[in-house]
A and B are shown apart, each in its own frame.
Chain A
Amino acid sequence: MLSNIAFYGALETGLIYGLVAFGIYLSFRVLDFPDLTVDGSFPLGAAVAAMLIIAGWNPWLATGAAILAGMAAGAVTALLNVKLKILNLLASILTMIALYSINLRIMGRPNVALLMEDTVLTPWYNLGLEYHQVSVLLFTLVIGATLFLLWRFMKSEIGLAMRATGANARMARAQGIATGGMIILGVAVSNGLVGLAGALFAQSQGAADVTMGVGVIVIGLASLIGGEAVITPTSVFRALLACVVGAIIYRLAIAFALNADVLGLKAQDLNLITAVLVTLAIVLPGARVSLMNKFKRRKA
């Protein structure tokens, strides 16, 4: 079944996509803003980091620049929505397709390889760990730090204002919250996280490719919803934890599907499995509640 390396590979990819799930939690759950920008900001982060690393920048600085680029992309989507009154979904689609051209411009070609460059991972290889454990260790630290910062942010005054904006914009405005500004900040931070994920992914996979954003939104959503099904998001901390756990479960499910020759499953079936998993994760918690209600009613 699963070899050690396949297991660590699933953890590694899951941790990176956990950052994507954070971003999607922020836009979808906190702000109620369906944001497809992520399909463009993921390769944007990869492109910016890759080009700067090749230009000789420190990999961490390049990764930081990727976060800023992602934030800028998110801010554009939010501005289209807040200032020009374009429907949020459409605004994000516009930014996403624009980013395809922009990413090609940044890289100058569709694929930029990092295989022979120093990345954020390089110094960690000297720790004496097994090769495939290094990225898991580093990305655990990154996602742990990000989780902590996001958690503190959501509990801060600005974070509370942002949550209020998503929960009830009219009420938030009545309380004196500049809801437009909250949406811009929130969507920017969300895409900054996705840009970070793209930058780390490019560095661990050896290349930035203009096509690497395809389906990021679906995978992020699947992780978010799957995580929420396992860890009920009763607090911000649990919600953030659910993002990480969901992303890892999703990757483990893929790793199992790749290994489940017994069941006759092949990689070709993964898109279908994803769709089924997301549907189940959306439907099941609701079904559980309605079943419980029925049960209670019968008792009464």
Chain B
Amino acid sequence: MANRMLRTLIGASVLAAASFTQAAELPVVAITQIVEHPALDSVYEGIKDELAERGYVDGDNIRIIHESAQGNTGIAAQIARKFIGESPAVIVAIATPSAQTVAAAARNIPVVFSAVTDPVGAKLVISLDAPGANITGVSDMLPIEKHLDLLQRLVPNAKRIGTVYNPGEANAVALVGMIEESMKARDMVLVKAAATKTSEVLGASRSLVDKVDAIYLTTDNTVISAAEAVISVGERSKIPVFAADTATVSRGAVAALGFNYYNHGRQTGAMVVRIMEGAGTADMPVETMDTLDLFVNPEAAARMGMTIADDIIAEAKEVVSNAK
């Protein structure tokens, strides 16, 4: 009985492997993402919307397939193989682990990555200007210098800046290292507090009290999921909290020079369109975010014991209000 089952199973799989190579009538855009998460999900939405706006509508003249590996690298590997087997026009890989898995398996299919902070460090491309092979994409590298400029305008005397980050998150670690570098030239010091899970974010934020003049949060997934914990510490201890993404401003951070993952997805989608229309990846430079919007939250600022200068409020694209 057991042997028969085994034979049937193996037989079925071999048959399936041999005979069902799908006849793709429409060009396929295959999108893989490592985990479902609000930021990464909005990258996907952005890609889809941009494609649609440029005339590539799912089910109409292209077929979009989308899979999430639910944080499991073994499944990510199989998703990559599945996609390559479909011979898609473009594979889009959202976040570093997905991009690496696709890069390891895809030989000739163009790959566009998205939400990867350090594509050179992740060995996806040889250089940002000339990727050199079948892979390019959009990096979510933060405009750190612009963020620090803003921070210094808002809190001119800030010397010691705190940040909470997850040492297990590749993107966050890369960012923290770069921020530290940029701060040296400005005579500022970065005080780091590590949180490996969302439940540790509160404790890590508390450890910064009395040590820092302001807190600056990157796009670290773990920390942003628990941003309220940092914000509550900021309010109680009168330490202004700044964010890298605009969504956190509406949750009570003082200001952010906007990083918006939906727009990040739109930019990725635009790249996909260019490839579908014949552009090559090898000489297509890796892009970083081109639209930055200033979001401010004067009420949050007041709760953290500071005021936002009027000229900065006047510059803001959006003045968020969330009085408690």
Contact = CB atoms under 8 A, between A and B. Distances in A.
A244 B218 CA distance: 43
A266 B96 contact: no
| Interface residue SS majority, chain A | helix
A111 B166 CA distance: 13
Contacts of B79: 258, 267
14 contacts: A7-B13, A9-B77, A9-B85, A10-B13, A111-B96, A131-B107, A205-B100, A206-B123, A211-B71, A215-B72, A230-B5, A230-B6, A232-B2, A268-B36
Contacts of B76: 205
**Which 8 interchain pairs have the tightest Cβ spacing?**
A9-B81, A3-B85, A206-B104, A113-B123, A7-B17, A1-B20, A5-B85, A111-B170
Interface of A: 1-10, 12-13, 17, 100, 104, 109-111, 113-116, 131-132, 201, 204-207, 209-212, 214-215, 219, 229-232, 245, 249, 251-252, 254-256, 258-259, 266-268, 270-271
B84 A254 contact: no
B25 to A, nearest CB: 15
A13 B69 CA distance: 14
Interface string B93-105: 0001100110111
Contacts of B122: 111, 113, 115, 207
Contacts of B169: 110
Given A111-B97, A267-B70, A132 B123 contact: no
Given A1-B16, A209-B73, A211-B71, A6 B78 contact: yes
A96 to B, nearest CB: 13
| Interface residue SS majority, chain B | helix
B225 interface: no
Given A2-B17, A207-B100, 17 more contacts: A2-B16, A3-B86, A5-B82, A13-B74, A110-B167, A110-B169, A113-B100, A205-B73, A207-B96, A207-B97, A214-B71, A230-B6, A230-B9, A231-B6, A254-B78, A258-B78, A268-B68
B97 A10 contact: no
Contacts of A256: 16
B229 interface: no
